[in-house]
Structure 1
């Protein structure tokens, strides 16, 4: 079953203290940090992640692009993030697909739940991401019990970092 996670970007930024502090300095940096965190989560969890940002007051047709294999969407003029999320849920809902929406907006949680999607609060998503990171760290630092000599044990960490960025689809310098 395909698992899809739709994230209300500004709602999450406003709910996570570390991103709130970063937002107060630079909204763009807070968005980029959230994108990085969700890209890592997507790469490890297997969820297909859509990140939605509200461009309600900005003229234009909205846009969608991929960054680190993550789908980032900005709303159209006079469209709210909630409206775009509801439209995405309607388009994506189907057999063999589980849709989860991450937002702490209670009204939006009720609406998407009524459309058949699961809901996830900002704090629950944060907990999942932290747990995801712990699992990644444990896998990286777990000693090999089989006695096998794998390639990743012999490659320098800077090269491993570059390979990981390539795996995630990030641009290299």
Structure 2
């Protein structure tokens, strides 16, 4: 079974300097950059990666889980936006509860200390945004190494 990673999207955007600097230009651009970087992590590690963003109305087909307004798959990453009355924290907690019920391990990336404590109590493993950045950076380096090796063939 591959690792399931759930990312608190806006928590990471506000924590990572490169993404935070994009907010003034475009929050959408910051979200897209995060998803792009998470896609590399998913591709290199084989992890099932989901990113959850707080309430945001979007157009498009809606057949999401309860509590979600919209979800889609982008480059192998599940991207979910909560309903207006729900927070990303609430949706992530529900995902942790459901994973625990199934006996499936879940890893959550957030630097919200209260949320981290709650998630650990629900049986989820938790990493902070700095650790997520280290993992993403390592995956990007590994992908670059693989591409260089492939291009030398």
What TM-score does the superposition give when structure 2 sets the normalisation length?
A: 0.86
| Runs of 4+ with >3 A deviation | 58-61
Per-residue deviation, 1:61 = 5.9
For residue 119 of structure 1, the aligned residue among 99, 117, 126 is 126
Assess, with a 3 A threshold, how the Cα gap between structure 1 residues 61 and 83 changes in structure 2: closer, same or farther: closer
Distance 1:110 1:120, change over 3 A: same
Please list every run of 5 or more consecutive structure 2 residues that lacks an aligned counterpart in the other structure. 59-66
Aligned residues: 144
Larger Rg: 1
Q: Distance in 2 between matches of 1:137 and 1:41?
A: 12
How far residue 2 of structure 1 moved from its aligned partner, in angstroms, is 2.7
Contact 2:8 2:53 in 1 (8 A): yes
Distance (Å, rounded) in 1 between the aligned partners of 2:69 and 2:99: 19
Q: Cα RMSD (Å) of the superposition?
A: 2.1
SS of 1:22's equivalent in the other structure is coil
Counterparts of 2:68 and 2:34, CA distance in 1: 23
Give, in whole Å, the separation in 1 of the partners of 2:152 and 2:99: 41
The residue that corresponds to 1:139 in the other structure is 146
Q: Is the 8 A contact 2:40 2:143 kept in 1?
A: no
The equivalent of 2:137 in structure 1 is: 130
Decide which of 72, 83, 107 is 2:79's aligned counterpart: 72
Unaligned runs of 5+ in 1: 143-149, 155-173
- In structure 2, C-alpha distance between the alignment counterparts of 1:136 and 1:65, rounded to whole Å: 24
